[in-house]
Amino acid sequence: MTTTIRARFYCCCLLVFFNPISSARSEERSEKNDCPKGWTRYDRSKACFVVLPQRLRWAEAERACSKSGGRLASITDEYENAFVFNLAKKANLTTPTIWLGRLVRLARTGAYEWHDGAIGRQAEGFRGEPPSGTELCLTMWLDFDRPEGSWNEWDCGYASGYSAMCKKSLKKSAFSVSTPPTTEPPGTHISQRCCVQSGCGQRCSSNERCIPDDLNCWWRTCSDNGMGWCLPVP
């Protein structure tokens, strides 16, 4: 009985709403977007983003973002990663690298969470090397063709510095305003459990990928019964 209730709970929590057409339209909106001037709205995360072109050390970049009411950007899924990657590319920076937020390893579980408390399942951002240490200052390399593999662990005190991607929560009022119903309702995706390692019999469909519960599973350090959720390929 307990297992059934838990399974229903997880399924309810992991409903994924995705419509490529409506998502693209909402991400590209610039007029009346309830973000400060110069910031870009991203509805999926209910957040605003801006690139600070000045090259700063990580801590300096975090302070600069804080002055604007934000933080260095955390990234919670592959959709947000692609959005941030494309937004940063449009900035045409002299040095094609930006600071992201910092990942902190939790002593209790060994898993990582972002410095702003956000928890994400996006680990394909890394270039393939396993993360090390307990606090990782991350950069995104913009000279890649794709957002996957564009993250790199970097020295927080790097003297030459990098530009920064800031993120702040969208004003609650922006989501309380009633809007007319759309004629293209988003699709509903109900996630199913899956095994990260092959051979367990719980596989995702051809248009899904298995996103592990634990970030460390991406580096093949999890047990053979490491579990995850089937999420749609963007």
Q: Which CATH class is domain 19-171?
A: alpha beta
Q: pLDDT tens digit string along 28-77?
A: 444 455 899 999 999 999 999 999 999 999 999 999 999 999 999 999 88
Torsions phi, psi for 165 (to 5 deg): -110, 115
For residues 151 and 125, the answer to whether their CB atoms sit within 8 Å is: yes
Map out the domains of the chain as residue ranges: 2-9+187-232, 19-171
Q: pLDDT tens digit string along 154-202?
A: 999 999 999 999 999 987 544 333 334 444 344 455 667 777 666 666 7
Q: pLDDT tens digit string along 86-137?
A: 999 999 999 999 999 998 877 777 677 899 988 766 656 666 555 666 678 9
Place of tokens 């000279």: 143
Q: pLDDT tens digit string along 4-13?
A: 444 443 333 3
